[in-house]
Amino acid sequence: MNEWYRACNKAASIIRNAIPGTYRSRTFSGIIGDIKALPSKKALSLISRKKGLGKQYAYLYLTRGIDEGRGYQACTTEALASALGNKRKVFIKGNILDVGCAVGVTAGILNLCHVTGFDLFTDLLQTAKLIDSLLNRENDYVAADMTKTWPFDTIFDTVVCGLVCHHLKTQSETASFFSNVNRVLKPYGSLIITMPSGSISNISNFNKVTNTIKDFGFKINSECSGIVLSDDSTHSLFWMFLITAEKVSDEVGSIFISPDFAFPLYRTPVTREEKGKQARETVQKTRMVRHEYFKFINAVDLEKRVSNRTLVYETVSKL
Ligand SMILES: C[S@@+](CC[C@H](N)C(=O)[O-])C[C@H]1O[C@@H](n2cnc3c(N)ncnc32)[C@H](O)[C@@H]1O
């Protein structure tokens, strides 16, 4: 187990004591479901009002999302490293901005320095700082809302958006997000995006996302943008989208994002029953994925192989 995972376990045992009894039974998917269901301002207000709930979120992030490298969030970052392979230092370079950094996942797993991470929730950022302090590392963490203007200038060589774009709920949030990315990146800076399965329903959705990114002044690296699949014998539920791009223009005017853009299969559970069902399904899934099983299929190959079929896990596992 790498030292960052060990430090996450230590941090989890430290913050566990600060969680009030009322929130200790809250599940990871339940809290995430609430956050996704609410506009960011309300999500922030919910976590601030219910003192201690943010700590439970941070605790569950460490024990479920990371889980010594077995959690979905840790697997995704491991998959990112494995898909980029020896091109990693070409794409992830210099001053790095980690959008929606949670507990400092990208910096921690990829062992990066010069990282500025930002997230909506201070409990996650404090946990990231705690983990860094256990390892004598120093990255910067800032509380900010990715749907508003980002509090940074054009100072970054790389912007990493790991599993955050599906939190953008409207066309205007999406437009503001990509304008921010363009503004804070230096010319020829890198943009790295990962998205979970379910955030894209078919290949034309994937193309819509990449075309929108192009409209915002980026060139997509087609050999490094596509889908990461788990190829393990259990075909456990793991696949994600990866987009790598380079900033080629900062001339971004008013861009029209069509109403059917965004992340169409991302749908917030609307009722308590639906939320409960989703939470139970998530909990029942056994994650057997190890990062050595990750296989990368680039955007061009993906299009040839699945054309415009609906991308459900069963389809993808037969590729
Ligand atoms: C699925 S997690 C991904 C965390 C991390 N990047 C990773 O790769 O595991 C999504 C993160 O986005 C954050 N987030 C959600 N809405 C946000 C917003 N409006 N502004 C900033 N961060 C936000 C959440 O708090 C959470 O930490």
37 C-alpha vs ligand 1 centroid, how far in Å? 14
Ligand 1 nearest atom to the CA of residue 124, by list position: 27
Residue 89's pLDDT band, with cuts at 50, 70 and 90, is very high
Q: Is there an atom of ligand 1 within 6 Å of 141 CB?
A: no
Give the model confidence (pLDDT) of 16-36 as tens digits.
999 999 999 998 888 888 887
Tell me the domains of the chain and their CATH numbers. 72-100+146-316 (3.40.50)
Minimum CA distance residue for ligand 1 atom 5:
101
Single out the residue of 91, 164, 169 nearest to residue 124, CA to CA. 164
* Cα 317 to Cα 89, 108, 239, 277, 296, distances in angstroms: 30, 29, 9, 24, 13
Q: Which residue has the tokens 């995972």?
A: 5
Give the model confidence (pLDDT) of 248-303 as tens digits.
988 665 666 655 554 433 444 455 565 556 555 554 455 566 777 788 888 888 77
164 C-alpha vs ligand 1 centroid, how far in Å? 5
119 C-alpha vs ligand 1 centroid, how far in Å? 6
Q: Which of 146, 164, 195 to mutate to test the pocket of ligand 1 (most atoms within 8 A of CB)?
A: 164
Query: Are the CB atoms for 58 and 123 separated by under 8 Å?
Result: yes
Strands 185-196 and 218-220: unpaired
Q: Is there an atom of ligand 1 within 6 Å of 121 CB?
A: yes
- Name the residue with higher pLDDT: 74 or 237: 74
Ligand 1 nearest atom to the CA of residue 57, by list position: 25
Helices (H), the chain: 3-16, 28-37, 40-49, 53-60, 72-84, 88-91, 105-110, 122-134, 171-184, 203-215, 272-284, 299-306, 313-317
Q: How far apart are CA 128 and CA 135, in angstroms?
A: 11
Q: Which long-range contacts (CB under 8 A, 24 or more apart) does 65-68 make?
A: 65/28, 65/102, 65/103, 65/105, 66/5, 66/8, 66/103, 66/105, 68/1, 68/5, 68/8, 68/9
Residue 125's pLDDT band, with cuts at 50, 70 and 90, is very high
98 C-alpha vs ligand 1 centroid, how far in Å? 10
Q: Is there an atom of ligand 1 within 6 Å of 101 CB?
A: yes
Query: Are the CB atoms for 216 and 182 separated by under 8 Å?
Result: yes
Structural element, H or E, at residue 269: none
pLDDT for res 303: 75
Phi, psi for residue 70 in degrees, rounded to 5: -95, -20
Polymer length of the chain:
319
Q: How far apart are CA 51 and CA 262, in angstroms?
A: 33
143 C-alpha vs ligand 1 centroid, how far in Å? 11
Ligand 1 nearest atom to the CA of residue 146, by list position: 20
pLDDT for res 309: 61
Ligand 1 nearest atom to the CA of residue 102, by list position: 27
Q: Which of 120, 174, 268 to mutate to test the pocket of ligand 1 (most atoms within 8 A of CB)?
A: 120
Q: Which amino acid is at 165?
A: C
Q: Is there an atom of ligand 1 within 6 Å of 163 CB?
A: yes
**Is 124's pLDDT higher than 90?**
yes
What is the share, in percent, of the chain residues with pLDDT greater than 90? Answer: 51
Single out the residue of 285, 76, 227 nearest to residue 164, CA to CA. 76
Q: Is there an atom of ligand 1 within 6 Å of 36 CB?
A: no
Ligand 1 nearest atom to the CA of residue 101, by list position: 6
Per-residue pLDDT, averaged over 30-56, amounts to: 89
Q: Is there an atom of ligand 1 within 6 Å of 150 CB?
A: no
307 C-alpha vs ligand 1 centroid, how far in Å? 31
- Name the residue with higher pLDDT: 155 or 33: 155
Q: Is there an atom of ligand 1 within 6 Å of 164 CB?
A: yes
Query: Are the CB atoms for 103 and 67 separated by under 8 Å?
Result: no
pLDDT for res 70: 84
**Is 59's pLDDT higher than 60?**
yes
**Is 229's pLDDT higher than 50?**
yes
Give the model confidence (pLDDT) of 169-225 as tens digits.
888 888 899 999 999 999 999 999 998 876 776 777 788 888 889 989 999 999 899
Q: Which two tokens stand for residue 46?
A: 């919910």
